[in-house]
Amino acid sequence: MERRKFITVVGTAAVATPVLGSLASCASDKKTFEGHKFPALPYAYNALEPYVDAETMELHYSKHYRGYYNKFMAAAEGATLADTPMEEIFAKISDQPEGIRNNGGGYYNHTLFWGNMTPDKKEIPAELKAALEKDFGSVDKFKEEFSKAAKTRFGSGWAWLSVDKKGKLFISSTPNQDNPLMNIVDEQGKPLLALDVWEHAYYLHYQNRRAEYVDNFWNIVNWDTVNDRLASV
Ligand code: MN3
């Protein structure tokens, strides 16, 4: 009973408070990261069902994500990085201890990930569609390549759509909590779309069927967020 009540409260808050919904736009991504805030989930735990189940969402957000955040904040204070923008930290991540890399990545990556999913079916905005067609040939080809990156990442990690310094879109995958902003990855860029392929993101519902989880991701992508992130580069 206690647990159900908690879910209801969180779900209601996520719908009622405008600040939470704005996590989806890039301007507010920046606002969130400026003060290293712990943002509320922009939808209820059960909002992405049947593609992401409520139990997974609750554990993922309230335990895994909270854990990365708390450890990052503790490490950041120790390293006097509490006021340093995440982009700056990641640009010199090779100078930082593992705790900053793993937990700072965990905090940042999940924040992007929550924001680029939505229970509301979205069409791909024209600007983003044109960019995907230009750099991948077609939207379907892009989805195919991104899905492949997500499905073939060995062990825990992430799949990404990012934009490089020249404005070209590219797909990559990173291990653990690394991301395309870090100066240790093969291809650096600004991430636009994130997909978590750690087992904790899907195992309760999909067990070993990561491919099914990845294919279902396309039903809940918030293309407006991706478009906003591209527009604000
Ligand atoms: Mn995760």
Centre of ligand 1 from the C-alpha of residue 98, in Å: 17
pLDDT of residue 26: 55
pLDDT of residue 92: 97
Helix (H, G, I), strand (E, B) or coil at 211: helix
- How many whole angstroms separate alpha carbon 17 and alpha carbon 226? 22
Q: Are the C-beta atoms of residues 19 and 27 closer than 8 Å to each other?
A: no
- How many whole angstroms separate alpha carbon 199 and alpha carbon 210? 8
Centre of ligand 1 from the C-alpha of residue 207, in Å: 15
pLDDT of residue 3: 41
Centre of ligand 1 from the C-alpha of residue 231, in Å: 26
Local structure of residue 62 (DSSP, 8 states): I
Low-confidence ranges of the chain (pLDDT < 50): 1-22, 24
Residues 183, 191, 201, 50, Cα dihedral to 10°: -170
Q: Which runs of E-coded beta strand occur in 43-168?
A: 157-163
Long-range contacts of 73-77 (CB under 8 A, 24+ apart): 73/36, 75/99, 75/100, 75/103, 75/104, 76/36, 76/100, 76/104
Centre of ligand 1 from the C-alpha of residue 60, in Å: 6
Centre of ligand 1 from the C-alpha of residue 196, in Å: 6
Residues 43, 44, 45, 47, Cα dihedral to 10°: -80
Centre of ligand 1 from the C-alpha of residue 5, in Å: 24
pLDDT of residue 35: 82
Centre of ligand 1 from the C-alpha of residue 137, in Å: 30
Question: Across-strand partners of 173?
Answer: 159
- How many whole angstroms separate alpha carbon 61 and alpha carbon 72? 15
- Selection from 5, 9, 72 nearest residue 38 by Cα: 72
pLDDT of residue 17: 35
pTM higher than 0.75 for the full model?
A: yes
Q: Are the C-beta atoms of residues 197 and 229 closer than 8 Å to each other?
A: no
pLDDT of residue 79: 85
pLDDT of residue 82: 86
Centre of ligand 1 from the C-alpha of residue 6, in Å: 21
- How many whole angstroms separate alpha carbon 135 and alpha carbon 131? 6
Structure-token match 């335990």, residue found:
63
pLDDT of residue 21: 38
pLDDT of residue 34: 79
Q: What is the pLDDT of residues 21-79, one digit of tens each?
A: 345 455 567 777 878 989 999 999 999 999 999 999 999 999 999 999 999 999 998 88
- Selection from 143, 62, 75 nearest residue 103 by Cα: 75
pLDDT of residue 78: 85
Centre of ligand 1 from the C-alpha of residue 23, in Å: 17
Centre of ligand 1 from the C-alpha of residue 134, in Å: 31
Centre of ligand 1 from the C-alpha of residue 130, in Å: 30
- How many whole angstroms separate alpha carbon 165 and alpha carbon 187? 11
